[in-house]
Amino acid sequence: MDKIAAPRGTADLFPPESARWQALEESVHRIARRFGYGEIRTPTFESTELFVRGVGETTDIVEKEMYTFADKGQRSLTLRPEWTAPVVRAVLEHNLLAQGPQRLYYIGPIFRYERPQAGRYREAHQFGIECFGFAGPEADVETIALAHEVLRAHGLGVTVAINSIGDATCRPRYREALFAHFAPHRDALSPDSQRRLDRNPLRILDSKAPEDRALVASAPTMLDVLCEPCAAHFARVREMLGAIGVAYRVDPSIVRGLDYYTRTVFEFISDDLGAQSTVCAGGRYDGLVAELGGPPTPGVGFAMGLERFLMILAKRGVGASAERRGIAVVALGEDARRRVVPLVAALRRAHGDLPVTIDYGDGKIAAQFKKADRANARAAVIVGDDEVRGGSVVVRDLATRVQESLAATSDDATADAVLHWYAALPAAADAAA
Ligand code: ATP
Ligand code: MG
């Protein structure tokens, strides 16, 4: 029979790669908590209408990337293509804003019908935060600082590119200026951008089409036409980023693909990613909560692509070599195998954190050591016929290959003795030297 493959643009995750994901996820949970953020989880699918209204009809996401389907009750549903609109929906549905400002973070999959390539998938994973209720530039800076901290914690120094795209006062002026710039060259624009020219000329700035590049480069910038309050907000963001030591550069070409952004927008861009260079993107969205039926509420947030983040780490060789850790139990023969089952259970009970593995096969001792080595175990507990008869176990440091015999009494006492011996082992790095 033919085998069935996973759908294009999706990936399976298994060891040892899944351990890299777990480590990254644990670190972002920790960092988000340190900044006072709590986790929010929302459904994988939502009403299609939520994204049409919350992301914007003229965006790439809504125009061509959504996984939309009718369920058996003929409701139009869409697999979550981004998290901000669902988070706002949930915040409003549960009236969380009544308790004051909210700091929320999420980790999970997004679904977009895109052309799959390195760093671009149809199911991808994002970590992100949303901060509701603070209109001042401090919240923009805290948001950028949190993303910066995730990168810094993994040894990545990446410069953040920032821009301001104004608000309801000054952006209409900018739209006019852009229309005046592009309209005389309508025929030279890509077909997508020709459509955008009438619907939303700002979106042309986000175009990836090569034929648009020169016209985009010569377009007027938003920074030239910011109204006075928007200009003051942007100046304070820059000043405070400087004060906390986050390196940034102003890049007027950043406009962000989603319609709901206002004022500050930013992207973390890595040279290690080739064409898909943006690892994290975000900004302020003061109009979105009201747009989705809530009280006027300022908001700011970002989304970080975890696949792209791990690609950068892999390119730089960060976190590639895992430290030896844990105990491999080696049982030689059927009697020994029966004997060690309760000992393995006692070891796993006694230590909440240490991996304890066992191979139930009939392999020779050398083959079992090789497997333990490959699993990166630090130590082995060996039980053969002699040990079963003599009431002992052999413990072996797999880094130094030094071994000794320990008396085996009850399983719990034996487990204690083994773990006591394990705790006294020299650090693996020293042992190897
Ligand atoms: P791009 O311009 O690369 O299409 P975007 O503007 O659509 O990005 P956002 O919606 O801002 O991206 O998503 C935030 C981050 O999520 C991106 O910077 C990227 O790291 C990641 N991301 C978005 N779409 C994908 C995808 N299809 N595959 C992998 N990662 C993605
Ligand atoms: Mg995109």
pLDDT at position 433 over 50? no
Atom in ligand 1 nearest the alpha carbon of residue 122: 27
Q: How far is the CA of 252 from the centre of ligand 2 (A)?
A: 19
- Lowest mean pLDDT of 94-108, 129-143, 202-216, 418-432, name the range: 418-432
Does the pLDDT at position 417 exceed 80?
yes
Rounded mean pLDDT of the chain?
A: 93
Please say if the pLDDT value at position 173 is more than 80: yes
Hey, which of 67, 158, 278, 306 would you mutate to test ligand 1's pocket, going by the most ligand atoms within 8 Å of its Cβ? 278
pLDDT score, position 159:
86
pLDDT of residue 429: 61
Mean pLDDT, residues 119-133: 98
Instruction: Give the count of alpha carbons within 13 A of 398, CB side only.
Output: 24
Pairing of strands 45-47, 160-164: unpaired
Distance from Cα 296 to the centre of ligand 1, integer Å:
27
pLDDT of residue 181 exceeding 90: yes
pLDDT band of residue 430 (cuts 50, 70, 90) is low
Closest alpha carbon to 83 in 309, 308, 304: 304
pLDDT confidence band for 241 (50 / 70 / 90): very high
pTM for the full model? 0.89
Strand pairing of 278-284 and 327-331?
A: unpaired
Stretch 178-188: mean pLDDT: 94
Average pLDDT over residues 157-182: 92
Cα 178 from Cα 155, distance rounded (Å): 40
Token representation of residue 237: 């963001």
For residue 71, pLDDT beyond 60? yes
The domains of the chain, with CATH numbers, are 17-170+226-316 (3.30.930.10), 327-425+427-431 (3.40.50.800)
Nearest atom within ligand 1 for CA of residue 304: 15
pLDDT at 150 over 90: yes
- The best mutation among 10, 114, 120 to test binding of ligand 1, ranked by most ligand atoms within 8 Å of the C-beta, falls on 120
- Name the percent of the chain in helix, strand, coil, to the closest 5: 45, 20, 35
Give the atom of ligand 1 at the shortest distance from the alpha carbon of 65: 27
User: What is the Å distance from ligand 1's center to 260 Cα?
Assistant: 16
Distance 94 CA to ligand 1 centre (A): 28
Helix or strand (DSSP H, E) at 27: helix 17-34
Distance from Cα 61 to the centre of ligand 2, integer Å:
7
253 — pLDDT class (breaks 50, 70, 90): confident
Helices 17-34 and 137-153, axial angle in degrees (round to 10): 150
Most confident of 11-20, 70-79, 256-265: 70-79
pLDDT band at 321 (very low <50, low <70, confident <90, very high): low
pLDDT at position 277: 87
pLDDT of residue 156: 87
Question: Are 225 and 177 contacting, i.e. CB atoms less than 8 angstroms apart?
Answer: yes
List, for residues 266-316, the tens digit of each pLDDT value: 999 988 877 778 999 999 999 999 999 999 999 999 999 999 999 999 988
pLDDT over threshold 90, residue 186? yes
pLDDT tens-digit map of 354-404? 999 999 998 899 999 999 988 889 999 999 999 999 999 999 999 999 999
pLDDT at 318 over 80: no
As a whole number, mean pLDDT of residues 214-224 equals 92
Separation of CA 60 and ligand 2 centre (Å): 7
| Confidence tier at 18 by pLDDT (50, 70, 90) | very high
Choose the residue to mutate in 8, 21, 60, 126 for probing ligand 1, maximizing ligand atoms within 8 Å of C-beta: 126
**Contact 282/307 with Cβ under 8 angstroms?**
no
Dist CA 41 CA 415 (whole Å): 40
Q: Ligand 1: list residues with CB < 6 Å.
A: 82, 112, 114, 119-121, 124, 126, 257, 276, 278-281, 303, 305, 307-308
Distance 114 CA to ligand 1 centre (A): 10
